[in-house]
Amino acid sequence: MRIKNICCIGAGYVGGPTMSVLALKNPNIRVTVVDINEERIAAWNDSELDNLPIYEPGLKDVVKEARGRNLFFTTEVEKAIDEAEMIFISVNTPTKTYGKGKGMAADLKYIELSARQIAKVAKSDKIVVEKSTLPVRTAQAIKDILDHTGNGVRFQILSNPEFLAEGTAIQDLMDPDRVLIGGEESDDGKEAIDALVDIYATWIPKEKILTTNVWSSELSKLVANAFLAQRVSSINAISELCEVTGADVREVSRAIGMDSRIGPKFLQSSVGFGGSCFQKDILNLVYIAKSYGLKEVADYWEQVILMNDHQKIRFAENIVSKLYNTVSGKKITFLGWAFKKDTNDTRESAAIYVADALLNEQAEITVYDPKVSEERIYADLDYLNTRSPEENRRLLKVALNPYQACKSTHAVAILTEWDEFKSYNWEKIYESAVKPAFVFDGRNILDSQSMREIGFQYQSIGISNLNKI
C-alpha cells in the first residue's frame, strides 16, 4: 500500500519537527499537521522563519524547503483527518493532575479526544499511528474507541514512538539510531507496518527499522527513557559522594565510560534532568508497575525521580549555605532557564525548582536565557502556585543581556549548558559583582582554575576542593 496523504494531530515539539522531516524526505506524500491551537499554527505558517513556535537547530531550513510544497500546517482538523490514509497522533500526554493516578499516570484525555474525532470523521479505512509516548496497552483503548464509535470503517493501529531529543531533533530525525514500529500480527497489521516502513525507508537504512508487536513498542519507549534518566540519576548520586570524598565526578565518568559495556554517553553530572519526557515516563512506568502489584519494580524506578529531586534541592541549598546561610534580599543571577541547551523548551527544567527553593528563602533572582521568553519564565513559576504572580514578578526579573543580569550580583548560578556562557567575559562579570563573588556551575561548563584565578568562589557539581592532598 502506498500512502499519499498523511495527517498529524498535534504540532508540538514532536509532531512539528517529525512531520517536517518526513515531508522533506517524501516529496510525493502530502503531509498536513493540524492543531487546535491557532496561535501555534499561525507561528508554523509565519513567513518569518525565526518566528516558528519551536527553536531547533536546522528546523528552519527543513520547513523552508517543504512548507507549501507538500507540508501544510492548519487548524482544519476534520478535513485533514478525512483526506488522510495515515494519521499520526502526536498530542500531549501530561501527568494527570487529578483523580486516580494523580501525579503519576499519563493523562490520556487528548489521545482519547483525537481518537473520537478520527472515529467521527473517517469515511475510509485508516492507519492510526501513535507517536506520543503512551502507557502500555493504549493502542487497545484507541482501537476500542475507533471500532465502537466509527462509521464501520476499518482501522489499523501502529505504535511508532519518537526517540528524538530536543536540541538535536533534526539530526536525530535525519539519522536515527533506530525507528521502532509496533503493529498487529495479522495480515492487515503487517500491511500497515509495511506501509510505514516504506515511508521511513526513503531515508533510513532498512536494518535500522525495527518491527515488533504493539505492546513491545509502547513499553520500549518508556523503558528507553527510564534507562537514560537512570544513568543521569546514577552519576548525580555519585557526584554527591565525590564532593565529600575528594573524587572528581568528571574523572569518574570518564573512567567508567571507557568500559565499552557502560559507554560514555549520558554520564554528565548536572543540577538534575528536566524535559517533558523523563519524569513523566518514569512516573508512568511506576504507575503501571504498581497497578499490576509490582511494588519492588515500582520502588526501584521511583528512586530515579527521588534522586533527581534531591539533586535540584541540594543545588539550591548549597547556594544558601555558601552565601552565609542567607540569600534574603541578595541578587542571584540565573544563566539559563531551558531544560538543556539549544531548545526554548522549559518543561520540568531544573531551573524552575531551584528558583522556587531560592525564592522561598527570599532571594532576588535575575534570569537570562538566550532563547526562553520572559512570559514563559513567569508562566513556569506561576504554575507551581507557591506564591502569587505579583510576588513572583517582584522577586524575579528577566534580563535581556547577560552582563546586565550579572551586574551587582552576589552569585551566578548556571542552570543550562548554553555554549555562549563559556565565552563570556568573566573578568568583566567579576568586576561588577558583589564580593566575594560566587559562581555555582550546575553544568560543569566553566574551567575551575581560570574562574578561581579571576577571583570567583567557584563551585561545581561533583568536584570539591578536597582533592588537593
Touching ligand UDX, residues 335-364 (CB under 6 A) = 339-340
Best CA proximity match to 457, nearest among 424, 423, 433: 433
163 vs 456 by CB, closer to ligand UDX: 163
Query: Catalytic site residue 7?
Result: no
- Select the binding partner of residue 95 from ligand UDX, ligand ADP, none (C-beta < 5 to 8 A, by kind): none
CA neighbor of 264 nearest in space, from 251, 277, 247: 251
The residue at minimum Cβ distance from ligand UDX is: 275
Q: Which segment (87-95, 199-207, 327-335, 438-446) binds ligand ADP by CB under 6 A?
A: 87-95
179 binds ligand UDX (CB under 6 A): no
The secondary element (H helix, E strand) that includes residue 24 is helix 15-25
Q: Please pick, from the candidates 13, 55, 72, 337, the single residue that binds ligand ADP as defined by CB under 6 A.
A: 13
For ligand UDX, the closer of residues 155 and 273 by Cβ is 273
Does 77 participate in binding ligand ADP (rule CB under 6 A)?
yes
**Total of chain residues touching ligand UDX, rule CB under 6 A:** 19
Give residue 266's region: left, alpha or beta (phi > 0; psi -120 to 50): left
β 5-9/331-335 pair status: unpaired
Instruction: Based on the shown chain and the rule CB under 6 A, indicate whether residue 165 belongs to the binding site for ligand UDX.
Output: yes
35 appears as a binding residue in the annotation: yes
CB 196 within 8 A of CB 160: yes
Window 248-277: residues binding ligand ADP (CB under 6 A): 276
Look-up of cell digits 506524500: 29
Q: DSSP 3-state assignment of 136? A: coil
Does 343 engage in binding with ligand ADP (CB under 6 A)? no
Segment lying near ligand UDX (by CB under 6 A), choices 91-99, 157-165, 290-298, 373-381 = 157-165
Closest to ligand UDX by CB, 273 vs 421, is 273
Tell me if 439 is assigned to a ligand binding site.
no
The binder of ligand UDX chosen from 135, 183, 274, 402 (CB under 6 A):
274
List b or e across 184-209, with b for residues whose CB sees 16 or more CB atoms inside 10 angstroms: beeeebeebbebbbebbeeebeeeeb
What is the distance, to the nearest Å, from the Cα of residue 180 to the centroid of all Cα atoms in its chain? 19
Is there binding between residue 315 and ligand ADP (CB under 6 A)?
A: no
Three-state DSSP state, 82: helix
Query: CB of 311: closest distance to ligand ADP in angstroms?
Result: 23
156, β-bridge pairs: 127
The response to whether 92 counts as a known ligand-binding position is: yes
Helices (H), 102-206: 109-121, 138-149, 169-174, 187-200
Sign of CA dihedral 308, 313, 318, 323: positive
Would strands 71-74 and 155-159 be described as parallel, antiparallel, or unpaired? unpaired
Was 462 annotated as part of a binding site? Answer: no
Catalytic residue among 7, 242, 277, 406: 277
Instruction: Report in angstroms how near the CB of residue 417 gets to ligand UDX at its nearest.
Output: 7
Q: For ligand ADP, what does the binding mask look like between residues 122 and 151, x meaning CB under 6 A?
A: ----------x-------------------
Residues with Cβ < 8 Å from 131, sequence gap 6 or more? 8, 10, 14, 15, 18, 88, 89, 90, 160, 161, 162
Return the ∠ at Cα 238 (arms to 234 and 243), rounded to 5°. Answer: 155
Stretch 277-306 residues interacting with ligand UDX (CB under 6 A): 277-278
How far apart CA 176 and CA 278 sit, in angstroms, is 19
* Catalytic machinery residues: 277
**Binding site listing for NAD(+):** 10-15, 35, 40, 91-95, 132-133, 166, 277-280, 347
Annotated binding residues: 10-15, 35, 40, 91-95, 132-133, 166, 277-280, 347
Return residues touching ligand UDX (CB under 6 A).
162-166, 225, 228, 232, 266-268, 270, 273-275, 277-278, 339-340
